[in-house]
Amino acid sequence: MSWSPPLPATQNGIITGYTVRLSYPGGANILRNTATSQATFSSLVSGTVYSVSVAARNSVGLGPYSAAQRFTSAVTGKRLRL
C-alpha cells in the first residue's frame, strides 16, 4: 500500500518515517515501520476485512494516526493506495 505525505503546512518538522497500523476483527494490531510512503503486508487472509491507518514520525516522535481505511483482501495480489 502507499499514501501521500501530510501537507507541509500540517507537518510538525521533517518527516523521518511512518508507522502503519493494520488490524482485523479478532486480531492484534500489526505495526510496520517504514522510511518511505509505502508498506507491504503479506499473508493476508482472502476475503478478510482489514483496517489500516498511518502515522508520520519526526524527531519529536510519532504523530496522530490517520483515519482508518477499510478494505477486503482479494484472492490475488492488489495494491492499495491511501
3-state SS track over 6-60: CCHHHCCCCCCEEEEEEECCCCCCEEEEECCCECCCCCCCCCCEEEEEEEEEECC
DSSP label of 5: P
| Range of the structural domain that residue 48 is part of | 8-72
How much of the chain exceeds pLDDT 70, in percent?
A: 90
In a domain? residue 57: yes
Place of cell 509505502: 38
At 35-66, the pLDDT tens digits run: 999 998 888 888 899 999 999 999 999 999 99
With a threshold of 0.85, does the pTM exceed it? no
- Tally of domains in the chain: 1
CATH number of the domain that residue 19 is part of: 2.60.40.10
